[in-house]
Amino acid sequence: MNPLRSIILAAAKNGAIRTAVATAPVSRDVVRRFVAGETTAEAVAVTRRLAEDGLTATLDYLGEDTTDAALAEATVLAYEELLSALHDQGLSDRAEVSVKLTAVGQLLDEELALANARRICRAAEAAGTTVTLDMEDHTTTDSTLRILAELRSTWPWVGAVLQSYLHRTLDDARALASSGSRVRLCKGAYAEPESVAFDAGQETDLSYVRCVNALLAGDGYPMFATHDPRLVRIITERAEAHGRKPGSFEFQMLYGIRPEEQRRLAQLGHTVRVYVPYGGEWYGYLMRRLAERPANTTFFLRALATRN
């Protein structure tokens, strides 16, 4: 892994750095580049703007690694409120939700996380939309796939996420490439040991392409999450080779990253879904975005230095 990336991801776990960054006056402005806002109303407003540009959304109420059942409960309530607002505003055919299981109690108790995820799925069903379970660090992968299987027995539309940097992922992709199965493929954003993950560079990209082929060859609905221009080109070519028409798979990108490319792909007739995070707990999310791109880090550190 790139040393700068490991340093930033390690800093993300450090309480003192967290307090310094989270309370710096400039942070809020920088955060706004990647985060839609703190409230349901702001998240819905961003969804509407994206819809006007021909884009769809998956909304993430920020939070993770919760070890407090009351916080997990607050997260469920936030999703219920959001889903009802999307329905009331006629946006549930344009937007779904992404859920981190560690935000709804996975680190406390798998059964609690499952029960909370069920409540979110029920609310999504009532709103007429879907849920995707984000994938977090590798220690949670098996538990997340178990919860996914449970949820899919009631709601087959619940989406999974696979990370191409993990050695195991091609097997998971083959196992999940079945009819009706929604699978988001990404490279992976956590600091992982060599024993389970490829290097962040070429090996992860090659694994990504192998998984693209496995997902396109199956009967499921692949969701390709990447900003990488080379991978976008390869996905487009491989989709054609597999006889996949636009609409039988989708592209996904993060809010604030390559917005012109998002619109370009939508104009070509592709479904493009933008991952829109919102809420007050933006710290871990922002640190992963900075770790991905040194240019963002320089921008962020310069802004911190000049305002303090």
Ligand X SMILES: Cc1cc2nc3c(=O)[nH]c(=O)nc-3n(C[C@H](O)[C@H](O)[C@H](O)COP(=O)(O)OP(=O)(O)OC[C@H]3O[C@@H](n4cnc5c(N)ncnc54)[C@H](O)[C@@H]3O)c2cc1C
Among left, alpha and beta (phi > 0; psi -120 to 50; other), residue 90 is: left
- Nearest residue (CB) to ligand X, 87 versus 100: 100
CB of 88 to ligand X, least distance (A): 25
Question: According to CB under 6 A, which one of 44, 214, 254, 265 is a site residue for ligand X?
Answer: 254
CA-nearest of 129, 43, 39, 132 to 87 is 129
- Quick one: which segment of 80-88, 140-148, 182-190, 210-218 binds ligand X (CB under 6 A)? 182-190
Say whether residue 257 binds ligand X (CB under 6 A).
yes
Site for ligand X contains 197 (CB under 6 A): no
Has 134 been annotated as catalytic? yes
Instruction: Using the structure block, give the residue that is written with the tokens 């059964």.
Output: 111
Q: Please give the DSSP secondary-structure letter assigned to residue 242.
A: T
Phi-psi region of 113 (alpha: psi -120 to 50; beta: other; left: phi over 0): alpha
Instruction: Give the residue, chosen from 64, 110, 134, 172, that forms a contact with ligand X under the rule CB under 6 A.
Output: 134
Asked if residue 146 lies in contact with residue 176, where contact means CB atoms within 8 angstroms, the answer is: no
Separation between Cα atoms, residue 74 and residue 68, nearest integer Å: 10
Task: State which residue, 173 or 186, has the beta carbon closest to ligand X.
Answer: 186
Token digits of residue 281: 């707990």
What is the spatial distance between Cα 232 and Cα 125, in angstroms, rounded to a whole number? 31
Q: Which residue has the tokens 């900003």?
A: 227
Q: Which of 121, 189, 234, 235 binds ligand X (CB under 6 A)?
A: 189
* Residue 226 makes contact with ligand X by CB under 6 A: yes
Task: Find the binder of ligand X among 97, 225, 234, 266 (CB under 6 A).
Answer: 225
Tokens encoding 148: 């996914």
Q: Which of 46, 113, 253, 272 binds ligand X (CB under 6 A)?
A: 253
Instruction: Report, in Å, the least distance between residue 260 CB and ligand X.
Output: 9
CB of 20 to ligand X, least distance (A): 24
Q: What kind and span of H or E run contains 272?
A: strand 271-278
Query: In this structure, what DSSP letter does residue 211 have?
Result: H
Shortest distance, CB of residue 97 to ligand X, whole angstroms? 12
18, 283 contact by CB (below 8 A): yes
Using rule CB under 6 A, residue 167 touches ligand X: no
Q: Whose Cβ is closer to ligand X: residue 84's or residue 167's?
A: 167
Residue 169 makes contact with ligand X by CB under 6 A: no
Contact 274, 266 (CB under 8 A): no
The full length of the chain comes to 308
Q: Which residue in 229, 247, 269, 294 binds ligand X (CB under 6 A)? A: 229
Q: Which residue type sits at 166?
A: L
Write down the catalytic residue from 134, 152, 182, 205. Answer: 134
Q: 5, 184, 273, 289: which one is catalytic?
A: 184
Residue 293 interacts with ligand X (CB under 6 A)?
A: yes
Residue 142 known to be catalytic:
no
Residues that bind ligand X (CB under 6 A): 134-135, 161, 163, 186-190, 225-229, 252-254, 257-258, 275, 292-293
- Enzyme catalytic residues: 134, 184
